[in-house]
Structure 1
Amino acid sequence: MPPARARPPSQPPPWEPASTEPREPWRGAVACLGVAVFFVLTIGVVSWQAAEAPRRAWLLRGPAAGLAWERRAGAVLLLRRGAGRPLAAVALAAGAAAGLPLPPDRCRPDGGRFCGAWDEAAELHVALEEAAGAAECYSLAWTPLQPGAALKDCFSMANVSWYGGAGVRAPRWPLNAVDAEPQPFVISDFGRNPGGYGPVLEGYFLASTGATVTVAPDVPLFLSVESDRRFCLESPPGSPAPALRYRLCASTDVAAAQRHAGARLALEPRRPPDTALLRSPIWHYRGPGGSAAKIKRGLRAFCNRLQRHRLKEGLLALGERCTAALADAVCPGGPARLSRQAGPSFSSPLRLSTPQDGRRQRRGAKPPWELSAVKPMKLSVTLSPYASVASPLFLSSLRDGAAGRWLSLRSRPGASVPLLARWKGQLAARLDATSEAAASWLVARAGRLRRALGAEHAALEGAEGNAYLEQGLRPPAGLQGDGYAAALATVAATLGNATVVTAGARSSHLPLFVRLSPLRPDWSHGGLKGLIPAALLSSLLGYSFFVPDAVGGTLADELPPDQELYVRWLQIVTFLPVMSFSTPPWACCDAWVLNLTRQCIQRHQDFVAPLIVKYSQDWVAWGYPIIRPVWWLSPTDPAAFTIEDEFLIGDEVLVAPITEKGQTWRDIYLPGEGCLWMDTNSAQVFDGGTVLRNYSASLAEVPVFVKTS
């Protein structure tokens, strides 16, 4: 056999790697560990750099304050130099920019402005507007960069009490306790929208830290409030040209901030209303209705009862339906004649006078109305800008070609149809209060009615709500937001400087009384507990002349309030600008409550009304509220920021009523460190800046203190 040939080493296939020396597993582990350590170190360095990077970067700085960007929270902070914490924190875009750095300033050449965008949706413009005096103010304005951009800024309530904005069905003080869904920032009719805002409303918010937020009336706005968390301002969804603009100011404390901003709330110089109404308790007639004869008999019986109980002074207020019935009776020819000449606006059909009525009057029968039926009381009538679609008033306007006096919808070029809404259960048209001709027509009609009935005062209802927004329509120019309420208030001021309206917006300078929302006859914030928060809010927003809900509450069925509730309600209303009654004391209470009512009315006339008149001078000159929160004298004491069951009249009287059922004692905060307060019941004197624990107040007493130093 031939010798064996040595075989060369076999070569691996080209797709297989060449064989190597035997592997050592520990070397691979070391390599993996090295890679892991490298990544850990890299992440650590990046995290350390991020942690060490400044959390805040200045947007703008003024002489005493400034705005800084808080990267982690995505918020702009209003800071006052030397202060330990921010005065306000504003989460831009509702916090969507959290974690993002401050964008480059596109306005850097101008040292007084900042312009920047955190995304491609909108750009923020900030400018220092005011840096002298008691406040330093900055304007913030969002400019959309994309169609349909959502603009929403939210203000934190963490460790800050906020006040202002608007009232709600169950009033609270401060705003932190309110919950409200995002909705148009307009005065609502609580009958149609119980979760809405009203009856007073201004784009003004005040923080206990001394910050203020002001939104101009021409800025369309949605407002939402999340209890104890935040409130948000946002542009209305679907707006063709969304814009969100507001003014952010810093002051030394909450009272200084209110003094600065309150002076600027009124659009024009303030004019006080006729203060004679302060001394006239209002008695709302709730007797028999229907025909004029029944109303006349009911009024005479009611007035006789008041006189018999020595309550003969005051104002007798007729509701809208009673006003309409009497107006129909005193004007022969019925509503058609009223429409041609003058008279009220009615929401219900009016009875037409008949030829037989005229013959009875010519034979010497008693006229349908005599002012002597209510003497010596003064009479007040109630009007509204509504007219039922079934009323002769509305139908005659269509026949006479006067349909233009109503709010309308444009159906085609050159043609329009009245915009209809619900008013007191009826489908009705609403007067166009922005039309000079329509306003003059209403004023002339109201003037003739007052002369015919001998009425010295009038109330104008129906300013609440934006009929266009409620029906998903775009309001015309002049009726954006609360433009209608402002226009109707201007009309109301021409009826007399003691006219009562039911809504206040953009009208705090007018000589009017605003009637606050009806409350339930119970002890909740929708009832008795809501009286003081509603009064404080109304005054804070500039509406110091208001009529609180009638004693005992009016938002209820026919059952009268219980006696204890009636007394505690009476004690609070005694120290507010105007006293009003819907349920007379003899209808619900014992004889001693009737005596107490007389005493309270006398105390209001002799003690409270002069104080209101005195401090109205501060309101006219500087916009200071007349009914003031306790922090007005203790602006840096956190204990004063959440007190909603005490109030001041000016600087010299403190009222601390009982608001809990069955209680005859309470804790009382005396504001003003260094002041002395004297109890008007016991003549005891106490130091300000202290709390009186378990202070006694029987059912017949209300704790009232007068500042003596």
Structure 2
Amino acid sequence: LIVDENIESTGVNLNRRNSISLPAGLNTMEPLEYTPQLTPESTRRHDGYETSDTFSDGAVSDAESSTPDSEAPKMNLAPARSARKKSILPKRSSSLADEDDQDSRSDLTDITDPSPGNSISSVNSISSLLKEKIMMSLPKALKRRKKPKEYKLRAFVAFLFLAIVGLVGFAHVFYHQQVLQRAYFEKIRFNKEDRVVKLYNKDGVEIALGYLGVHLPQNDRVFPCLHSNNRKGKLCLEWMHKARLYLSYKEEKEGDTQFRCYTFTWQSLHPDTLLTDCYENREQHGHWYGGGRTLGMAWPVELGSVEMSAFVTGHIGRHRWGSVLRRYFINSRGVAISIDPETPLYVSINAKDEDKLCLQARHDKFAYVTHDGLPRLNYSVCTSRNMKMLHSFLSEKALWDGIKEDEENFIVSLMSEPVWQIAPKAKEDLNESTVVSYTESVNTLGFVRQGHVLLNEHWQQFVGDLTLDESRFPTMNETIDIIHRRGFRIALTIQPFISTESKHFAEAVEKELLINERNEEEIRKVPALTRYKSVKSAGMLDVTHNETIPWLCEKLKALVDGYKIDSFYLDMGTAYDMPQFYQLKNNLTNPDHYKSILISQLHHKYQVIGVSGAVHRPPAPTFVSLPTLSSSWESLQVIIPTILTYGIIGYPFLMPGPVGGDYIPDPPGPDEANSNVTFHGFGIGDQKSPEAHLPNKELYIRWLQLATFLPVIRYSVLPSHYSDSQVLEQAEILTTLRRQTVNPLLKALVKEALNNGTPLIRPLWMLDPFDTYCHTVKDEFSVGEQIIVAPILKANTHEREVYLPAGVWKDGIEGSLRKGSRWLHSYKVPGDRIAYFVKMPDNTRF
């Protein structure tokens, strides 16, 4: 036995490694007093796990694990010193350490005893103790080392499980949102399960998001159509017994620009199925324009709100839509929607707090009562790289091929010369002396050109007489000759209505020229009555009857031949002016088609100066009027958005209302609250007192400033009617500005409008479709691309914010040059000036 020299006293800790070296062959010795406390083959750990490992000097061997205990002394074991390794034994507790210290002291006493017996027994005792300690401590140490690995393994398995679950969930979502959004055609993805359609531009950027069939149940399955229902070149999908959808695609190219058009056609298969498609109109999906006049006239349309309603003409204030419409909407992201004219269309904008433009096909008991079968929703969505190119592509081109030279000259003359409207509210105030006096006052001004004198419907004794009231116009032949010699032309307002008091009502009933009441008895034909403006009871001509237009033309011919009338203004009312239960000779799928038929029939026979409403662009040289407006600042503010909207939907030649408004508003009486009268209040120009019933002077001047840059300038109140000379001076200055600057530009734009349908008055985004500021400016406009106009539209205001698109612009007030693509903040505009800017060449130097 070799004792380490560091063992100097009984206080030496025998737990130090390498402190004792066992002699060779000691491992084969088995002390008599040693009884194993734990059997290696059946060792139970303190944590409840069992182990069947057999230890050999701290090393684990598969062969040893199967060796019986009786043969253990015969095994060749390596020296215990070689099997002991550092960091094997775990840290012991204090109690165990105390016991070990006691054992160590006892062992040390035996070792230091010089007797041989003590030496042998001490060696055996130490050997037994060391082997027991190793056998008990080593498995625990190994198990403790395995615990962190087990926790790591469990954590890894849990992480792997969560990753697999997440991957499966992502795959499910991706399948529904991407795989199911099948690219049936180029640049479009359609999820047929959720009925979500996405359109993309050429760079793969999403430009439109639509929700199709929003009223179909979400859990309804979709199937491919039966072979008998398929159509060539169209994808067909069917929701059983509810609706069928056809999708088709067409691509066209003009120059280097591609235009893609997708057609969506829904067919209802059940009376209870409501076909509705909606498109996002939030800012990230662009701004929408078009449709027509709405209450408040929002520009863009998403700034307003329209409840779901029939897309037919009406009176703003009582109905959702105005008198000029077109089934066309265009988006600032380069997306346009055109709806088929035969669709029984309902439209909503931001209804029920949803930022969506929604289209719906629905039959009803008034607007679309004549439709047969179940509703169909048919429309096209076209895309291009920007909305300016797209709008030009979709505009009706060469519609006026074959226009005569004198018709083109008429357009130029109407834009160069004012329209003088004589339209008192009271019928008695319109007489021969009124006309003569009015034209004399115009000539007295001295700085304006003569133009068209327009008389309202009161030139007749009763609406529908179609002859001048001889009691008020006894010598109208001579009066019209005088008017012609003064350089004026005379125009009369006509309507398709015949008052029940008219001398022609009985004749029209007898010849069945009027719209009948809808009933099931074919033999019993009763004229359907309605109201129109001040007429309390009137019939309406049936333009689908073959004899109606010839009868009307005969009456008009008598007027032209007898009084040398130059032209007519056609006031047709709106769809809601038709009888409620109307029945025409030939049914119309849309009551507004009435206007298109009447305009086209009269245009070929007589000069029509303008129309009050339209749903299709009338043939040249007919102008479309803006709606009737009251004399107020609110009315002044809606003129620009209305003109911009009308131009976008395809009406380039527009005739604004009179300077100062059509009438001075007055609260309606109790009997008139729900009447069909167009306006309430005193008529402009009644002149019962020197300045009675005249618009506010500041309002009149600001209105005149705006009208100076519009296609047609129309007067009802003359500047000379005001006693203030400032009004007259302003009118003279603005007339000179129009004659020298505006009229030549308008004349140059006529050809472009006739050939391409391009509006004369344009939104700023038509100058720069990529400038996002231009998308939302609603109180500025451009005349062609050469002049930007920014009028004052609020009372007591002498400054405003002005935005100039890209380019170099000459200030019309100061004469200085200004760089575009920027705002002019707090731009000063005196009361006698209007802000306008003339485009200069791009290479102009400051």
Q: What is the TM-score when the length of structure 2 is the normalising length? A: 0.68
Instruction: Please say if 1:521 is aligned against 2:626.
Output: no
Contact 2:477–2:563 (8 Å) recurs in 1: no
1:644 aligns with 2:778: yes
Deviation of 1:128 (Å)? 0.7
Once the two structures are superposed, what CA deviation does each residue of 1:433-463 show, in whole Å capped at 9, x if it has no partner?
2334211221221232133333322111124
Identity among equivalent pairs (%): 23
Among residues 538, 541, 550, which one is paired with 2:646 in the alignment? 538
Q: Does 1:386 align with 2:497?
A: yes
- Contact residue 538 and residue 544 of structure 1 kept, 8 A: yes
Question: What is the alpha-carbon distance in structure 1 between the residues aligned to residue 726 and residue 436 of structure 2?
Answer: 25
Does residue 213 in structure 1 map to residue 352 in structure 2? no
CA-to-partner distance for each residue in 1:110-162, whole Å, 9 max, x for gaps? 99643223564112111112243431001100122223321011121111211
**1:283 match:** 420
Alignment of 1:465-476 (within 5 A): 465=575, 470-471=580-581, 476=586
Residue type matched to 2:590 in 1? Q
CA distance in 2, matches of 1:367, 1:581: 22
Summarize the Cα distance change of 1:474–1:150 in structure 2 as closer, same or farther, 3 Å threshold: farther
1:167 aligns with 2:293: yes
Between 242-251 and 421-430, the greater mean CA deviation after superposition = 421-430
Equivalent runs, 1:237-248 vs 2, <5 Å: 237=363, 240-248=373-381
Residue deviations 1:358-383 (CA, integer Å, cap 9, x gap): xxx9xxxx678522554513222111
Partner of 1:619: 753
SS at match of 1:564: helix
SS in 2 for 1:444: helix
| Cα distance between partner residues in 2 of 1:654 and 1:98 | 50
Give the CA deviation at 1:214. Answer: 0.5
Q: What's the counterpart of residue 311 of structure 2?
A: 185
Match of 1:416 among 516, 520, 525: 525
Distance 1:679 1:455 in 2: 44
2:280 aligned with 1:156 = yes
SS of corresponding position for 1:631: helix
Write out aligned runs for 1:325-336 (5 A): 325=461
Cα distance in structure 2, aligned partners of 1:380 and 1:42 = 81
Q: Using a 3 Å threshold, how does the CA distance of structure 1 residues 44 and 312 change in structure 2: closer, same or farther?
A: closer
Are 1:688 and 2:824 an aligned pair? no
- Counterparts of 1:175-324 in structure 2, within 5 Å, are 175-190=301-316, 194-226=318-350, 229-237=355-363, 240-263=373-396, 274-275=410-411, 276-286=413-423, 290=427, 295-310=431-446, 311=448, 313-321=450-458, 323-324=459-460
Pair 262,600 (structure 1): closer, same or farther in 2 beyond 3 Å: same
Q: Is the 8 A contact 1:523 1:659 kept in 2?
A: yes
Tell me if the contact between 2:490 and 2:565 (Cα under 8 Å) persists in the aligned partners.
Answer: yes
Quote the residue 1:632 is aligned against: 766
How far does residue 255 in structure 1 lie from its aligned partner after superposition?
0.7
CA 1:599 to 1:530, structure 2 compared with 1: closer, same or farther past 3 Å? same
Tell me whether 436-445 or 252-261 shows the greater mean CA deviation.
436-445
Map of 1:552 onto structure 2: 660
Residue 431 of structure 2 aligns to a residue in which SS? Answer: helix
Cα distance in 1 for residues equivalent to 2:402 and 2:299: 28
- How far 1:610 sits from its partner (Å)? 2.6
- Alignment pair present for 1:93 and 2:213: yes
Q: 1:196 offset after TM fit, Å?
A: 3.0
**Is contact 1:217–1:506 with CA below 8 Å preserved after alignment?**
no
Paired position in structure 1 for 2:708: 574
In 2, distance between residues paired with 1:446 and 1:302? 25
Counterpart-to-counterpart distance in 2, 1:495 and 1:601: 34
1:427 aligned to 2:537? yes
Question: Alignment partner for residue 464 of structure 2, among 345, 364, 373?
Answer: 345
Once the two structures are TM-superposed, the CA of residue 690 in structure 1 deviates from its matched residue by 1.8
Q: Per-residue deviation at 1:91? A: 1.5
Task: Return the letter of the residue paired with 2:335.
Answer: A
In the aligned structure 1, how far is the partner of 2:482 from the partner of 2:811?
A: 43
Output one character per residue of 1:294-324: Cα deviation in whole Å (capped at 9) or x when no partner.
Answer: 7112222222222333256222211101x21
Asked if residue 442 in structure 1 is aligned to residue 552 in structure 2, the reply is yes
SS of 1:615 mapped into structure 2: helix
- The alpha carbon displacement at 1:581 in A equals 1.6
CA distance in 2, matches of 1:205, 1:218: 17
TM (norm. structure 1) is 0.81
1:546-589 CA-partner distances (Å, limit 9, x unpaired): 11121111143233221221111111111111101222223356
Structure 2 CA distance for partners of 1:616 and 1:58, relative to 1, 3 Å? farther
1: distance between equivalents of 2:221 and 2:802? 48
One-letter identity of the residue aligned with 2:834: V
| Corresponding pairs, count | 632
Counterpart of 2:198 in 1: which secondary structure? strand
8 Å Cα contact 1:200/1:505 also seen in 2 = yes
Distance in structure 2 (CA, Å) of the matches to 1:288 and 1:656:
33
- Which residue of the other structure, out of 794, 802, 807, is the alignment partner of 1:660? 794
Residue identity matched to 1:538: Y
* Cα distance, 1:174 vs structure 2: 1.4
Residues 570-621 of structure 1, C-alpha deviations (whole Å, 9 max, x = no match)? 1111111110122222335621111221332343334323322211212222
For 1:418, the aligned partner's letter is P
More displaced stretch, 377-386 vs 117-126:
117-126
Change (3 A) 1:493 1:647: same
- Partner of 2:294, secondary structure, is coil
Displacement of 1:410 after TM fit?
Answer: 5.5
Asked which structure has the greater RCO (Cα within 8 Å, sep 6+), the reply is: 1
Change (3 A) 1:652 1:620: same
Aligned counterpart, 2:10: none
CA contact 2:270–2:374 (8 Å) conserved in 1:
no
Determine which structure has more spread, i.e. the larger CA radius of gyration.
Answer: 2
Which of 487, 490, 506 is the aligned partner of 1:395? 506
Instruction: Evaluate the alpha carbon distance shift between residue 519 and residue 698 of structure 1 in structure 2; reply closer, same or farther with a 3 A threshold.
Output: same
Give the alignment partner of residue 729 of structure 2, picking from 595, 615, 618: 595
Q: Deviations over 1:396-444 (max 9, x none)?
A: 333xx31235455455234422221111242101112233421122122
**Matched AA of 1:124:** L
Shift of the alpha carbon at 1:67? 3.6
Quick check: 1:381–1:457 contact (8 Å CA) kept in 2? yes
Q: CA deviation at 1:465?
A: 1.1
Q: How far apart in 2 are the matches of 1:483 and 1:253?
A: 32
2:456 partner amino acid: G
Q: Does 1:699 align with 2:818?
A: no
1:66 counterpart (176, 180, 188): 188
- Partner letter of residue 546 of structure 1? L
